[in-house]
Amino acid sequence: MGEVEISGSKNAVLPIMAAALLAEGKCEIMDVPELRDVAVMCDLLRSLGSTVSEDYEKSVVTIETKQISTNEAPYDLVKKMRASILIMGPLLAKTGYAKVPLPGGCTIGARPIDLHIKGFRTMGAEIIEGNGYVEAKAEKLVGCNVYLDSPSVGATENIMMAAVLAEGTTVIENVAKEPEIVDLANFLNKMGARIKGAGTDSIKIEGVEALSSAKHAVIPDRIETGTFMVAAAITKGNILIRNVVPDHVKSLTAKLKECGVVIAFSDDGMIVRGDINPITATDIKTLPHPGFPTDMQSQFMALLTVAEGQSTVIETVFENRFMHVKELNRMGANIKEEGNRATVPGGRTLHGAQVVATDLRAGAALVLAGMVADGTTEVSRIFHVERGYSHFVEKFRNLGAAILRIED
């Protein structure tokens, strides 16, 4: 049996780092994964005047913002990472002004920031858009009721961070319920915020005068957990996964069990076995949490290419999240795409090929496919994968994978 330790969550640590801008004093964030996106966020906070120190050996990042030196985020950093937009809420709340370029990140479909803007406007901010920038100004943000047209994770986080220092009470409805939202609320509450309802449909925030420093350990990364769960299934392996919150991967656990994967829990963590039963087809449909996560769709599709029987994959979260299909087909998958639906025939023998990681999770899917393909698979544009997986190659090598990172 191989063992792997899950790192802190990428999607939790980035908003938490942005939220540290709100503190009067030094914040210590623990269980921080060593990722490209974390490095970009550190540089972004430094560009605004924060003192940031990273100790990846101890998985700790310390952030102190004695004075915000500029309210404008530099384009060369923001273009690298979509989560850069999350500095907008804290800057607006603390200083009354923020100017942020429209963000970059993975090209998995339109991810407009209109819901973020709607929230800020409802709290009394004046919004100016143009030349690829968004500006927000407010002498004082005021508590209000905000209804999100869809449960956007980023908008929920940004509005929540803006509301903690607003005057009065803010209620955000139809919010995202992801575990990362709950983790951000827990961190803000440690700093002295008054947030209730994170993880439910509605979040209530009573504004406070100021926030103090806090120490916080980030939750484990549920998408990294899921990727290793699928790795055990696709390779017919037997893996003990440490540092797991079982509730965070419920929908994925259910689907893997439908495929014949045996999953058990012990005091040490989660045991995932793909070596007991034949792996069979199943259908998946991505949905906001607690549904099947869009961030696990491509990895799961790689598994379905070798499962017995035909599967259907429906993507409802992002409209451009089948870019890995063409790459899997280059390896012999024969997946048929129609709009937001993909039909996966299953039972294929994959063969090694030169493929391209079109985004973060697609890159992980191609690596998983390469592990069971005949011959050698070469995945290029691997920087995408390193944005979201800490020590990716090292962890797979420790499990016995024949995987090598080639320097450019």
pLDDT single digits (tens) 211-265: 999 999 999 999 999 999 999 999 999 999 999 999 999 999 999 999 999 999 9
pLDDT confidence of residue 110: 43
Is residue 144 part of the annotated active site? The answer reads no
Residues 179-196, buried b or exposed e (16+ Cβ, 10 A)? bbbbbbbbbbbbbbbebe
Q: Is the pLDDT of residue 108 over 70?
A: no
Side-chain-facing half-sphere of 247: CA atoms under 13 Å: 7
Q: How far apart are CA 379 and CA 363, in angstroms?
A: 7
Q: Is the pLDDT of residue 318 over 80?
A: no
Q: 271 - beta bridge partners?
A: 240, 264
Q: Which amino acid is at 178?
A: E
Of 27, 42, 106, 259, the catalytic one is 106
Q: What is the mean pLDDT of residues 303-319?
A: 93
Radius of gyration (Cα) for the chain, nearest Å?
A: 21
Say if residues 282 and 259 touch (Cβ distance below 8 Å): yes
Q: Is the pLDDT of residue 166 over 70?
A: yes
Q: How far apart are CA 357 and CA 389, in angstroms?
A: 14
- Asked if the peptide bond before residue 290 counts as cis, ω within 30 degrees of 0, the response is yes
Structure tokens at 340: 């937001």
- Asked if the peptide bond before residue 345 counts as cis, ω within 30 degrees of 0, the response is no
Q: Which CATH architecture has domain 222-398?
A: Alpha-beta prism (3.65)
The domain 9-214 is classified under which CATH number: 3.65.10.10, 3.30.465.10, 3.30.470.10, 2.130.10.10? 3.65.10.10
pLDDT confidence of residue 408: 63
Q: Is the pLDDT of residue 105 over 60?
A: no
So where are the chain's domains? Answer: 9-214, 222-398
Q: How far apart are CA 308 and CA 391, in angstroms?
A: 32
Q: Which residue's structure tokens are 């009065």?
A: 168
For the chain, give the percent of residues with pLDDT over 90: 88
Query: CA-CA distances (angstroms) from residue 118 to 114, 148, 159?
Result: 6, 8, 9
Q: How far apart are CA 62 and CA 78, in angstroms?
A: 21
Q: Which residue's structure tokens are 């599709």?
A: 301
- pTM tops 0.85, yes or no: yes
Q: How far apart are CA 141 and CA 218, in angstroms?
A: 28
Average pLDDT of the chain, as a whole number: 94
Q: Is the pLDDT of residue 106 over 60?
A: no
Q: What is the mean pLDDT of residues 203-208?
A: 98
Q: Which residue's structure tokens are 């780092």?
A: 17
Structure tokens at 104: 């970059």
